[in-house]
Amino acid sequence: MSTSKTITFTLFIATVLSSCNAAANATAQPLFPAILIFGDSTVDTGNNNYHSQTIFKAKHLPYGIDLPNHKASGRFTNGKIFSDIIATKLNIKQFVPPFLQPNLSDQEIVTGVCFASAGAGYDDRTSLSTQAIRVSDQPKMFKSYIARLKSILGDKKAMEIINNALVVISAGPNDFILNYYDFPSRRLQFPHISGYQDFVLKRLENLVRELYSLGCRKIMVGGLPPMGCLPIQMTAKFRNALRFCLEQENRDSVLYNQKLQKLLPQIEASLTGSKILYSNVYDPMMDMMQNPSKYGFKETKRGCCGTGHLETSFMCNAFSPTCRNHSEFLFFDSIHPSEATYNYMGNFLDTQIRGWLEA
């Protein structure tokens, strides 16, 4: 069976099983005691709302329009993002709160929070332009979280939760968009993309090792999506009226992911008691783009908000026209997937995680 057909079949089976088990899952035991999330806007559930300096925020409509309260929450899509969907599927909680949200309850702390910041990257230079909370600074927030958790549960129980929590790391696209492709500030230092990839991967490795030193043991690390198929990247390429995916950027993503898949087992082997999972986002997203009708998508080359070519963050706002049926668009804005896309991704990765636990 081809990779494309395998991915499609896996997603279909996962979706059917998810639907059939919905009632059972409501009372099922969580697969992890907590979820802890680091990275960028793909997993930021609203930290940037409380970080005054940052440029990228999603605390205005149409972001959040399909959430239960129909209000923007800081999530860069029309509804739930990947963080919430995975937490729900693993029976941990329905929504993962941002750590910077004031007045978090003890129960929210105990079951996990999000430290991610939209616009962040592994490369600290990325956050210089976006004023996001650098990925390298997110462990500082985590240390504050650990202190709060210990004050609630005591040292021993708190560390048991951290040792067994699912840690999700999702970042990387901002590094390449803001430092290499669209604004080539790193090209002088790294004339070849391979060198910059190695630099980014070293930063990622440093993060994993720091989180391990703080007690994290079960870590899922996301790869890059097909970067050349992001609507904003299609727009950035002049004379691309037909909006083809940029094949060189996609090849770069594949190479980065291959390096990451080779690196993670090496890190795991050097960290006693760790389990590290590579999260494949490239193949399922590419399958959705190549076979949109299988997923109910009618548009894959532009976002639902505005023209769908450039709009994101403050450019996607209450004055922007939006598509009629959000679930028919793979992307909600020019960078971020729609809730429908995140749901399909969640089905695929839920299957990956459950297989990882049984291995």
Q: Residue 68: helix, strand or coil by DSSP?
A: coil
Task: Please confirm, yes or no, whether 41 is among the known catalytic residues.
Answer: yes
Gap between the Cα atoms of 352 and 80, Å rounded: 20
173: CB partners within 8 A, 6+ apart: 40, 42, 121, 224, 225, 227, 230, 335
Quick check: is 336 catalytic? yes
Question: Catalytic pick from 44, 287, 333, 350?
Answer: 333
* Alpha-carbon gap, residue 224 to 215, rounded angstroms: 26
Given the residues 41, 313, 334, 338, the one annotated as active site: 41
In the set 117, 252, 336, 338, the catalytic residue is: 336
Residues 6+ apart with CB under 8 A from 94: 84, 87, 88
Q: Digits of tens for pLDDT over the chain (359 positions)?
A: 555 555 655 555 555 555 555 444 446 899 999 999 999 999 999 999 999 899 999 999 999 999 999 999 999 999 999 999 999 999 999 999 999 999 999 999 999 999 999 999 999 999 988 999 999 999 999 999 999 999 999 999 999 999 999 999 999 999 999 999 999 999 999 999 999 999 999 999 999 999 999 999 999 999 999 999 999 999 987 666 778 999 999 999 999 999 999 999 999 999 999 999 999 999 999 999 999 999 999 999 999 999 989 889 889 999 999 999 999 999 999 999 999 999 999 999 999 999 998 88
